[in-house]
Structure 1
Amino acid sequence: MDSLVQSYKNFEMASIPQPDLPATMRVLQMSGYGGYDVLQYVEAKAPRLLYPTDIIIRVHAAGVNPVEDKARQGNMALLMRLTFPYVLGRDFCGTIVSKGDEVKNFNIGDEVFGTLPDPSGENGSGTYAEYARVPATKAGIAVKPANVSAIDAGAAGIAVFTAWRGIVHHGKVKTLSSPKVVVIGASGGVGSYGVQIAKAFGAYVIAICSGKNAELAKKLGADQVLDYTIENSIREFSLQEKDAVDIIFDAVGGEDYWNLLSATLKPSGVYSSAVGPIEHSGSQRVGFMDIAKTLSSIAGHKMFGSRKYQFIYSLPYEDMPEITTLFEEGKIKSYVPEDQVFPLKDGAKAHELIASHRAKGKVVLVMN
């Protein structure tokens, strides 16, 4: 039976016309788990259409996310099992060079951006590559607005979807009148979008970040900035703003902020965490005990917490059209400093910056 299924799959793949593309491409490929040296700039097979709903894009820019650096180190091996050689990357901006017969909403030549559902395909073909296969019906994908650069579009992906889930889905910001929103980690990749999304829906935004990034937070739209490096600043805010906040969006994680800030939430308020009870989860190797602790803490907050607690574990690809409109209207912008843009061959440097937790906004790879 298995041989018949495989024969059918082989026939299905062979029956799809393939684009006239180079046989190979340059990729940043993982040879295994380990240090920055496992990211190797090599020649690999270019992707091909596997299903009628696939598109092939020539990648212009690919966002780099903390989860990819953690996967590279092997810290997430219990949760993300990789087969080597492996090409990381989910976020992209690129031009469609081929598409399957069932792709109706996009045309060859369209410049598109978005996020892969996962780096799947031959050799784990993610977007750290000159070409990528995108399953159009599963990915979060849209035509890039003309007023958004390829770098800014390629940066968005996972980070903007995560912030959207926390503030729009969990926090239900669109249903609130004059909401008050706290964004923890406001100057980082996820938090920078969180500030803007909250502001786009009329929120008064309190940004939590270091004092050196206060001006950036204000530039993104924050009305008030709390410097977490100042002793007792968060505790004093908590005492002053008891039962006053509608949404707390946490892009840092850990228990400290929950313990300090949950009292500021209104009885109807929501605490939404992108990371969970372990701060910068995955920066160290995640073991069975860490997973158990995380699940136990989340369950405890949900069942016994004084306020509603939500953990982000999936991304709302279906909302890509609305997110794209906000980019087009200039209500959301990617913050990508020039020194955080790296050529594909220097992807190890991008990972080193991500691992330092010193990046402001997003880090991006660009193709040659």
Structure 2
Amino acid sequence: MSTVSLPSTMRAAQWSKISGGLESSLKPTTAAKFPKGAQPLGATSTLVKVAYAAINPVDYKLAELPVVNRFLFGRTATPGLDFAGTVVSTNLAHLKPGQRVFGQAKTGSLAEYAVVEKGSIAPLPDNVSFRDAATIGVAGLTAYQCIAPYVKPGAKVLVNGGSGGVGTFVIQAAKAAGASTVTAICSGPNAELCKSLGADEVIDYRAENPVAALKRSGRQYDHVVDTVFHSADMYWNCHHYLKPHGIYVSIAGNISPRGMWDLVSVSLWPKWLGGGQRKFFQLMEKPNPRDYELVAQWMSEGKIKPVVEEEFALEDAGKAFARLKTGRTRGKLVVRVAGE
């Protein structure tokens, strides 16, 4: 087992119970205990000094579930999955101390140090910054896994929620995979952003109903990625604009009775009983070192670039979550833990 001399405490943003939401409960500390499993380090683990972290909706949605609050009552927890930083100690043969890496942490990434398992870490190319790499963990990987297995050169792709954390990556990943046409659905103020990332067309959902606009266009898409899924209406109507062989991939959903019903109904309602006429797939990203390396390669080659709306200091992590919860972020929010 690998051991290394560590300071007695570390900096982190932590919470013990939710009162007013994670944005209000998250507090900075310079006296946080090291994450469980940091020393001795497990046989498949790596200890990383975190330079940057990025936050995702899953970070607060899970933390704010009542069952999680009851389990953690009286204890402290550090949120965050996405990280980029430097190897401190590792038991993985392909990594070494001092190496630049990124991925998803096993322990909270909004901390000076984090433990990462072997399936969730990858080397970082020298020409990709820690700040950019921190955005790949969940959003970049999700976009890649929404696109790479399905999109062939010449395909036409529709992206709902093109200006969000995942959507900005999906547009670029589709183009990197050879899509001939990418249509993005977003608000009017974000139209130019989506076009700058490679979208050929934009539908402003504030100006017109996207389903009506898609029906009117007569265009047939090979693939649909829904990063929003506020309702099932777009899926129920997708046979008007998604080719028979196409797949409607969703990555989102509301944690509410209505949201759960929408997901269950579109997944299980048979076609012959009036259900959806196209295949529906609810994608849950799965950390995969090879996929991480391919996304990082695209980033290194300039085929994709992260859209970072704002950078926050670790002490302001609560403010970052407050902004994320508005649902109006353009691209990603990153948190500077130690910096480059």
Say yes or no: TM over 0.5. Answer: yes
Tell which deviates more after alignment, 176-185 or 317-326. 317-326
| Residue 252 of structure 1: aligned partner | 228
Whichever residue aligns with residue 178 of structure 1, its letter is G
Contact preservation (8 Å) 2:141, 2:285: no
Q: 2:298 aligns with which of 323, 326, 347?
A: 326
Q: CA deviation at 1:256?
A: 2.5
Identity of aligned residues (%): 37
Q: What's the CA shift for 1:259?
A: 3.2
- Of the three residues 39, 45, 48, the one matched with 2:26 is 39
Code of the residue aligned with 1:142 in structure 2: it is: A
Tell me the secondary structure at the aligned position of residue 214 of structure 2. helix
Cα distance in 2 between the residues matched to 1:208 and 1:350: 25
Which residue is 2:4 aligned to? 19
Aligned residue in 2 for 1:269: 246
Alpha-carbon distance in structure 2 between the residues aligned to 1:109 and 1:232: 51
Q: Partner residue of 1:364? A: 334
CA deviation string 1:85-135 (max 9, x = no partner): 1111110000111112xx11111111111123xx4xxxxx31010000111
Q: Map 1:74-89 onto structure 2 (within 5 A).
A: 74=64, 76-77=65-66, 83=72, 84-89=75-80
**Match of 1:347, as an amino acid?**
A
Aligned to 2:56: 65
- What secondary structure, in the 3-state scheme, does the structure 2 residue paired with 1:129 have? coil
Q: Distance in 2 between matches of 1:302 and 1:56?
A: 49
The answer (yes or no) to whether the contact 1:56–1:97 under 8 Å persists in 2 is yes
Q: Is the 8 A contact 1:226 1:234 kept in 2?
A: no
Kindly indicate whether the alpha-carbon contact (under 8 Å) linking 1:183 and 1:250 is maintained by their aligned counterparts in 2. Answer: yes
Equivalent in the alignment of 2:184: 207
**Letter of the 1:24 counterpart:** T
Unaligned segments of structure 1, at least 5 residues: 1-15, 120-124
Which residue of the partner structure matches residue 142 of structure 1? Answer: 122
Tell me if structure 1 keeps the 8 A contact 2:235–2:276: no
Structure 2 gap ranges (5+):
none
Does residue 1:220 correspond to 2:220, yes or no?
no
CA contact (8 A) 1:112 1:143 kept: yes
How far does residue 344 in structure 1 lie from its aligned partner after superposition?
Answer: 0.7
The aligned counterpart of 1:350 is: 320
Instruction: After TM superposition, list the pairs within 5 Å mapping 1:63-212 onto structure 2.
Output: 63-72=54-63, 74=64, 76-77=65-66, 83=72, 84-100=75-91, 103-116=92-105, 119=106, 125-136=107-118, 138-139=119-120, 141-169=121-149, 172-173=150-151, 176-203=152-179, 204-212=181-189
1:122 counterpart residue number:
none
CA pair 273-82 structure 1, distance change in 2 beyond 3 A: farther
> Which piece of structure 1 moves more, 27-36 or 219-228?
27-36
- Cα displacement string for residues 209-229 of structure 1 (whole angstroms, at most 9, x for unaligned residues): 011001100111111111111
Q: Which 4+ stretches in 1 moved above 6 angstroms? A: none
- Quickly say closer, same or farther: Cα 1:164–1:290, change in 2 above 3 A: same
Offset at residue 335 of structure 1 (A):
0.7
1:366 & 1:225 partners in 2: Cα distance? 33
1:284-295 correspondence to structure 2 within 5 Å: 286=256, 291=260, 294-295=263-264
93 and 260 in structure 1: CA distance in 2 versus 1, 3 angstrom threshold: same
| Aligned equivalents of 2:259, 2:209: Cα separation in 1 | 29
Deviation at 1:299, TM superposition (A): 1.6
1:332 aligned counterpart, secondary structure: coil
Instruction: Give the 3 Å change call, closer, same or farther, for CA 78–46 of structure 1 in structure 2.
Output: closer
Is 2:215 the counterpart of 1:238?
A: yes
CA contact (8 A) 1:69 1:354 kept: no
Quote the Cα distance in structure 1 between the aligned partners of 2:71 and 2:265: 26
Q: 2 CA distance for matches of 1:134 and 1:28?
A: 18
8 Å CA contact 1:302, 1:308 repeated in 2: no
Q: Residues of 2 paired with 1:366 and 1:322: CA distance?
A: 25
TM-fit CA distance, 1:177: 4.0
User: Which deviations, in whole Å up to 9, do the C-alpha atoms of 1:49-72 show, x marking residues without a partner?
Assistant: 431221111100001101112234
Q: How well do the aligned residues superpose, as a CA RMSD in angstroms?
A: 2.2
- Whole-Å Cα distance in 1 between the matches of residues 95 and 305 of structure 2? 24
CA distance in 1, matches of 2:62, 2:271: 28
TM-score w.r.t. length of structure 2: 0.89
Q: Secondary structure at the match of 1:356?
A: coil
1:239-260 CA distance string (max 9 Å, x none): 3235x10011000012132234
Task: Pick the aligned partner of 1:310 from 272, 277, 281.
Answer: 281
Q: Which residue number in structure 1 is paired with residue 15 of structure 2?
A: 30
Structure 1 residues 21, 63: closer, same or farther in 2, change over 3 A?
A: same
Deviations 1:16-63 (A, max 9, x none): 342111121011111112322211112211231431221111100001
| CA distance in structure 1 between the aligned counterparts of 2:221 and 2:213, rounded to whole angstroms | 14
CA distance in 2, matches of 1:275, 1:147: 32
